[in-house]
Amino acid sequence: MKTYLVTGGAGFIGSNYIHYMFNKYKDTIRIINVDVLTYAGNPENLASLETNENYIFIKEDICNKDAMHNIFKQYDIDRVVHFAAESHVDRSIRNPQVFVNTNVMGTLNLLDAAKCAWETEDGYKTDKKYLQVSTDEVYGSLEEEDSYFYESTPIDPHSPYSASKASADMIVKAYMDTFHFPANITRCSNNYGPYQFPEKLIPLMINNALLGKKLPIYGDGKNVRDWLYVMDHAKAIDMVMEQGKLYEVYNVGGHNEKQNVDIVNIIIDTLASLLPDSDSRKAHVNKDLITYVEDRKGHDRRYAIAPDKIKSEIGWEPETMFAEGIRLTIEWYLNNNEWMEHVTSGDYQKYYQEMYK
Ligand code: NAD
Ligand code: TYD
């Protein structure tokens, strides 16, 4: 039985990945989820695994070096999938420090603990691997229409978030280049799907529209992101872990570029079509809610991934068409009102008032 150490597994992508892995491998794997539970970490995302003997939750900060080393002493870890991070660009503009602590120093701690545990006299224990979950944002912004991010595109981050993720990638690269540490890096485009915290574009717009609140579009709304359904990302991570060549970087993307304003319009149309006539919210879900607000500082114009390498070397391709993925996502939010109520109480209200004042 393989033992996975997943960090940040109570967050959006991490929890979807853990569900994906137990659905696929059933009781042939064990997953240890290390998560300190920041505002973005929610154990409710994994409530259905409470009785699963192969799922272990450890509430811990990846910045705690001793704790990371102890976890590797206590368990014989075969795979590390490192999701834990501060992940929201707007928050990084307001408070960069925590991004550097968690995303850079936390990554270094984890690498160091894995290296110490896996090292042998002449290399590493066999069949061990670390996967750094990174982002296309490390490549910066594409200004020309037909250009794409390739693995060879120079790193050129702009926001404190993407700079911290790029720094973490460079530390992983240093471990691979200097110590031959067995690792891969994946760089994925924007994800959407269930369990995403409503500070990010798609769940924020769904939540606001249902509440009849304004839908704040930054700048001219023409910034482009390449959206990928989260379960397709989970599958890509698993495939890179098992089939990726050591030390390689793989871009993961949806072939699905959309302007923000188009995303918001699709959300309104899909919500309106899914809500039954008897639902009182249907009356206010319409385009009058759209409001253009001040642009994000340093707002990257366009992201677009060329996922050619992961397709040709590993055989991964995005499977979920956007029309289907967004319907599944909106249905999930409609069916999980309580989840939304829990995550938007308390601190979220404070953040929202401050951010959108
Ligand atoms: P998220 O913010 O939803 O979840 C992050 C998780 O990490 C939370 O559960 C949080 O509690 C945990 N965490 C934060 N700081 C921690 C610390 N110091 N110690 C332990 N746990 C800590 O993020 P997400 O959207 O699920 O993103 C996961 C990873 O994927 C991140 O590394 C992010 O950079 C990357 N990524 C995200 C996207 C996206 O569209 N969301 C796209 C590409 C890559
Ligand atoms: P976001 O979901 O924060 O992801 P990222 O900035 O990491 O790509 O934002 C996606 C896009 O949506 C980005 O161009 C900023 C824009 N946006 C808005 O226009 N309004 C909002 O309220 C938010 C949160 C984002």
For the CA atoms of 183, 184, 185, 189, the dihedral, rounded to the nearest 10 degrees, stands at -150
Which whole-number Å values give the CA distances from 274 to 248, 289, 328, in the listed order?
Answer: 42, 18, 11
| Strands (E) located in 215-278 | 215-218, 224-226, 228-229, 249-252, 257-259
pLDDT values of the chain reduced to their tens digit, one per residue, 357 residues: 999 999 999 999 999 999 999 999 999 999 999 999 999 999 999 999 999 999 999 999 999 999 999 999 999 999 999 999 999 999 999 999 999 999 999 999 999 999 999 999 999 999 999 999 999 999 999 988 889 999 999 999 999 999 999 999 999 999 999 999 999 999 999 999 999 999 999 999 999 999 999 999 999 999 999 999 999 999 999 999 999 999 999 999 989 999 999 999 999 999 999 999 999 999 999 999 999 999 999 999 999 999 999 999 999 999 999 999 999 999 999 999 999 999 998 888 888 888 988
- Output the pLDDT for position 32: 98
Atom of ligand 1 nearest to the CA of 88: 2
Where along the chain do its domains lie? 2-193+230-255+300-320
- Output the pLDDT for position 211: 97
Nearest ligand atom owner, CA of 252:
1
| Strands (E) located in 11-103 | 29-34, 55-58, 79-82
Nearest ligand atom owner, CA of 7:
1
| Strands (E) located in 121-214 | 123-124, 129-135, 183-188, 191-192
- CATH fold for domain 2-193+230-255+300-320: Rossmann fold (3.40.50)
Tokens of 320: 């979920």
Ligand 1 mean position to 192 CA, how many Å? 13
Ligand 1 site, residue 275, Cβ cutoff 6 A: no
Please answer whether residues 4 and 32 qualify as being in contact, where contact means their C-beta atoms are separated by less than 8 angstroms. Answer: yes
Ligand 1 mean position to 11 CA, how many Å? 6
Atom of ligand 1 nearest to the CA of 61: 19
Count of H-run helices and E-run strands, the chain: 13, 15
Substitution candidate for ligand 2 out of 134, 191, 201, 217 with most atoms within 8 A of CB: 201
The three-state secondary structure class of 78 is coil
Please answer whether residues 250 and 149 qualify as being in contact, where contact means their C-beta atoms are separated by less than 8 angstroms. Answer: no
- Output the pLDDT for position 353: 86
Question: How many Cβ atoms are within 10 Å of 53's Cβ, its own excluded?
Answer: 8
Calpha distance 302→291 (Å, rounded): 21
180: region left, alpha or beta (phi > 0 left; psi from -120 to 50 alpha): left
Instruction: List all residues 6 or more positions away from 333 whose beta carbon is below 8 Å from its beta carbon.
Output: 194, 203, 206, 207, 210, 340
Cα dihedral sign, 350-351-354-357: negative
- Output the pLDDT for position 215: 98
